[in-house]
Structure 1
């Protein structure tokens, strides 16, 4: 349950971060239109870096869900019933 909550929080945080990044880029372009190519390049680079964070958290969540050391004990306890 904690892994799912952690993955959800990571996705929400990344979405909010990318939204703020895009808002800042649009504001910067509105102030200085000649800086558009540099701002867009930086925006896409940092958006990609921010988007990788939820995927890393998802990988850890799957690892914690499926690499549980107590799975063997649980299956033997269920089999004994």
Structure 2
């Protein structure tokens, strides 16, 4: 097998792993953000507006993470710097 084919195959596998990890990490992050917000509201109901505001801020930050990772993955897929 020539090195060019190996590099392309390894890049395709690594892009799949990168995207799977980004999706899993985002899902876990969403779950933790929402569960901790609900736990905080259950403990102090009067803090609900502040907790919801913070939850949406952090959720927006968590939502940007998979898109940034997807951009890097697509860069490795279509403009692979390892191919000479």
TM-score by length of 2: 0.79
Counterpart for residue 60 of structure 1? 72
For 2:58 and 2:50, how far apart are their aligned partners in 1?
12
Deviations 1:23-48 (A, max 9, x none): 00001001111100000000010011
Tell me which structure has the larger Cα radius of gyration. Answer: 1
Q: Which runs of 4+ in 1 moved over 2 A?
A: none
Counterpart for residue 79 of structure 1? none
Deviations 1:17-69 (A, max 9, x none): 11011000001001111100000000010011011111100011001100025
The RMSD of aligned alpha carbons is: 1.2
For 1:27 and 1:68, how far apart are their aligned partners in 2?
45
Counterpart for residue 57 of structure 2? 45
5+ residue gaps, structure 1, are 74-81
For 2:41 and 2:80, how far apart are their aligned partners in 1?
49
TM-score by length of 1: 0.82
Counterpart for residue 7 of structure 2? none
Count of aligned positions: 71
